[in-house]
Amino acid sequence: MDKLLITGGQSLNGVVRASGAKNAALPILAATLLTKQPITIKNLPHLHDITTMLELLGSMGCGVVVDEKMNVQLDVSTVNRTEAPYELVKTMRASILVLGPLVSHFGEAIVSLPGGCAIGSRPVDLHLRGLEAMGADIQVVGGNIVAKVDGRLKGARIFFDKVTVTGTENLLMAAALADGRSVLENAAREPEVVDLAECLIAMGAKITGHGTDTITIDGVEELFGTEYSVMPDRIETGTFLVAAAITAGKVKVIDTDVHSMEAVLAKLEEAGASVEVGEDWIELDMQGRRPKAVNISTAPYPAFPTDMQAQFVALNAIADGVGRVTENIFENRFMHVDEMLRMGADIEVNGNTAIVKGGSALKGAPVMATDLRASASLVLSALVAEGDTKIDRIYHIDRGYECIEEKFGSLGAKISRVLN
């Protein structure tokens, strides 16, 4: 199995392009199930999760043509199976995103119920309750969600007790073809939800309020083909900027989305980085300094994203001072801490808060990636550690970071993919 070998101690410098956002691309690909016309999605990142979603759509009979730039042409008119099997769902929980579009467009869906995962139990009850409120009959049979509706779903007012990103996306897609008006209250405001809504609007959907916590959808009878380009990845962008900060370097991320980065940029500035932004680029210059520790508390957008939490634990580990990092979204998202302790970090986890004492001189060690974002923190720690770090189970990293060794390598990191 592939591993990443990183020799730490290089200051990162240079320019890197942000890839398309995985978490926007996945719902947008699922949304193509809502039209019978050919549709083209551009700026997809080259990642395992994207391949899994394309495989899932292909397994339903959808025509999928990918060109060398990862632009994908999809043709749903040939779909003859409305099922997401366990083999695919178990490798990618976001497969649940096909549930709303399938039941809304085809009147039926069988989607394997996603089980627990490394970062907690992650239920999908709010997705199911919302679809029921729209008139779907939902049963869980043999580990599968079996959803059916006679005729069209009906528009409904849906209040989420908890802000859920994929839950909002699933119901937004379902509502786009429902009969009548739906109002999603306490909806997720994440930029990826907005990108999905913009794609649906380009397909002919009638949606307002996306980007706020109340989204109104007036269902239409039919959606159309279009060409849509996925937004840049704010988490990948943030990870490159932390890499610059942690190695006292200077990195410019181009073709990115500046507006979705506010909470993260504010924390990087608080850590002592000089940050400059243009229309579609961000440059972070650490001017050779060690960062200052910062306190982080994760919450739904526009607050600090849980997907950047692990990266800031790594930053705090080598910073001046003590940083408290509180995780409020997922119950078990500190698995990177045990691996970082093996590299010499000084971190104590108390409930949902990690108290990170800075100033550690991290040392390279063999470590294991446990989930996607946790693995990013190991890469960052390795970049600044003395000596070699070998990261095992990097399939987690490949789920979310496109060409990680090429991209970090182009900034001066000593990083390579090795077989053992």
Please select the residue that binds ligand UD1; options are 127, 234, 250, 252, rule is CB under 6 A.
127
Q: How is residue 3 written in tokens?
A: 């591993």
The DSSP H or E segment spanning 57 is: helix 48-59
- Under 8 Å CB-to-CB from 137, ≥6 apart: which residues? 147, 148, 149
Determine if 239 is a binding residue for ligand UD1 (CB under 6 A). Answer: no
Determine if 155 is a binding residue for ligand UD1 (CB under 6 A). Answer: no
Determine if 30 is a binding residue for ligand UD1 (CB under 6 A). Answer: no
Min. distance of Cβ 122 from ligand UD1 in angstroms? 5
Residue 338: strand, helix, or coil? helix
Determine if 166 is a binding residue for ligand UD1 (CB under 6 A). Answer: yes
Contact between 284 and 275 under an 8 Å Cβ cutoff? The reply is: yes
Residues 190-209 as x/- pattern, contact with ligand UD1 by CB under 6 A: --x-----------------
Please select the residue that binds ligand UD1; options are 36, 46, 48, 122, rule is CB under 6 A.
122
First to last CA, the chain: 7
Please select the residue that binds ligand UD1; options are 29, 31, 39, 94, rule is CB under 6 A.
94
Q: Could you tell me which stretch among 122-130, 140-148, 208-216, 317-325 binds ligand UD1 (CB under 6 A)?
A: 122-130
Among residues 62, 117, 199, 403, the one annotated as catalytic is: 117
- Neighbour tally for 75: CB within 10 Å: 19
Known catalytic residue at 62: no
Min. distance of Cβ 27 from ligand UD1 in angstroms? 7
Q: What is the DSSP string of 69-110?
A: TS-EEEEGGG----EE-HHHHTT-GGGGGGHHHHHHHHSEEE
Judged by beta carbon, residue 26 or residue 245, the one nearer ligand UD1 is 26
- Under 8 Å CB-to-CB from 87, ≥6 apart: which residues? none
Determine if 269 is a binding residue for ligand UD1 (CB under 6 A). Answer: no
Q: How is residue 238 written in tokens?
A: 């943030």
Rounded to whole angstroms, the Cα distance separating 361 from 62 reads 52
Provide the pairing of β-strand 181-185 with 214-218: antiparallel
- Per-residue burial over 24-62, b = 16 or more CB atoms within 10 Å of its CB, e = otherwise: bbbbbbbbbbbbbbbbbbebbbebbbbebbbebbeebeb
- Alpha helices by DSSP H, listed for 254-331, are 262-270, 309-318
Residues 280-319 as x/- pattern, contact with ligand UD1 by CB under 6 A: --------------------------xx------------
Min. distance of Cβ 189 from ligand UD1 in angstroms? 11
Cross-strand bridge partners of residue 355: 324, 348
Min. distance of Cβ 400 from ligand UD1 in angstroms? 8
Min. distance of Cβ 287 from ligand UD1 in angstroms? 32
Please select the residue that binds ligand UD1; options are 82, 164, 256, 260, rule is CB under 6 A.
164
Please select the residue that binds ligand UD1; options are 81, 90, 157, 162, rule is CB under 6 A.
162
Judged by beta carbon, residue 307 or residue 339, the one nearer ligand UD1 is 307
Determine if 396 is a binding residue for ligand UD1 (CB under 6 A). Answer: no
Q: What is the DSSP string of 205-263?
A: -EEE-BTBSEEEEE--S-B---EEEPPB-HHHHHHHHHHHHHTT-EEEEES--SGGGHH
Cis status, amide bond into 302, omega within 30 of 0: yes
The strand order across the sheet containing 296-297 reads: 296-297, 322-326, 353-357, 346-350
Contact between 360 and 346 under an 8 Å Cβ cutoff? The reply is: yes
Determine if 165 is a binding residue for ligand UD1 (CB under 6 A). Answer: yes
Min. distance of Cβ 169 from ligand UD1 in angstroms? 7
Please select the residue that binds ligand UD1; options are 6, 76, 124, 294, rule is CB under 6 A.
124
Determine if 370 is a binding residue for ligand UD1 (CB under 6 A). Answer: no
322-341: contacts with ligand UD1 (CB under 6 A): 329-330
Judged by beta carbon, residue 306 or residue 370, the one nearer ligand UD1 is 306
Min. distance of Cβ 397 from ligand UD1 in angstroms? 14
Which residues are identified as catalytic? Answer: 117
Chain residues binding ligand UD1 by CB under 6 A are 23, 26, 94, 122-127, 162, 164-167, 192, 306-307, 329-330
